[in-house]
Amino acid sequence: MSTLSSQFHVMGTSIAHDCLPNLVSKKNKILFVKVGIVIGIILSLILGYKLPGSFIARGTAIFFGICAASFLPTYFAAIYWKRASKEGAIASIITGIISSIFALFFLHQKEAETLGLCKFLFGKDVLITKFPWPFVDPILFSLLLAIIVLVIVSLMTKKISDKHLTMCFKKV
């Protein structure tokens, strides 16, 4: 319930502040937020009835997979590995995003068939048809690649010295 409530409030606030910023006066802002919440609820109900039953769960899994592949290696390294570099973190994030999207469009059968880009470009549903590759979740490809890139790029680039890092935080 709290998650739904917060999502609807975010939708209403987004509609009032982001979509209609010039039309909404300060006096009427709360009214437009409330109208936005009602619009968000109605749209959610329509989508809930029109979309297939597993659509929300699958979309959430895809989103969390892309986020995990993009941010988890960098987050983990920032906490536990002092040798990680800024360049390694950036390269890892970019690798995680690109490899996740590539795996979704070209390797994982469930999404690749639905999206149809691989079929359009190459004439087949997935690039690798040999079992088990069409059924391996994209996070396994992308998370592993992001970790490897983080380690290699961090080892190849200069580590930020603790003295420089301390000076940066003192300025803030």
Instruction: Say yes or no: 85 and 161 in one domain.
Output: yes
Instruction: Say yes or no: 111 and 158 in one domain.
Output: yes
Instruction: Say yes or no: 136 and 93 in one domain.
Output: yes
pLDDT at 126: 92
* Average of per-residue pLDDT across 138-145: 92
Instruction: Say yes or no: 125 and 112 in one domain.
Output: yes
Instruction: Say yes or no: 164 and 129 in one domain.
Output: yes
- Give per-residue pLDDT as tens, 7-52: 888 888 887 777 777 776 777 778 888 888 898 889 888 888 887 7
- Give per-residue pLDDT as tens, 76-105: 999 999 899 999 999 999 999 999 999 999
Instruction: Say yes or no: 80 and 33 in one domain.
Output: no
Instruction: Say yes or no: 125 and 144 in one domain.
Output: yes
Q: Are 30 and 5 in contact (CB under 8 A)?
A: no
Instruction: Say yes or no: 25 and 79 in one domain.
Output: no
Looking at per-residue pLDDT, the higher value among 172 and 39 belongs to 39
In terms of phi and psi (left: phi > 0; alpha: psi -120 to 50; beta: otherwise), the region of 123 is: left
Q: Are 91 and 120 in contact (CB under 8 A)?
A: no
With both helix axes pointing from N to C terminus, report the angle between 55-80 and 86-106 in degrees, rounded to the nearest 10: 160
Instruction: Say yes or no: 74 and 37 in one domain.
Output: no
Instruction: Say yes or no: 121 and 140 in one domain.
Output: yes
Looking at per-residue pLDDT, the higher value among 61 and 89 belongs to 89
Looking at per-residue pLDDT, the higher value among 140 and 170 belongs to 140
In terms of phi and psi (left: phi > 0; alpha: psi -120 to 50; beta: otherwise), the region of 143 is: alpha
Q: Are 154 and 88 in contact (CB under 8 A)?
A: yes
Residue at which a domain ends, from 35, 50, 65: 50
Instruction: Say yes or no: 103 and 153 in one domain.
Output: yes
Domain count, the chain: 2
Query: Confidence class of residue 121 from pLDDT cuts 50, 70 and 90?
Result: very high
Containing structural domain, residue 65: 55-171
pTM: 0.68
Instruction: Say yes or no: 114 and 154 in one domain.
Output: yes
pLDDT at 63: 87
Tokens 């959430």 -> residue: 60
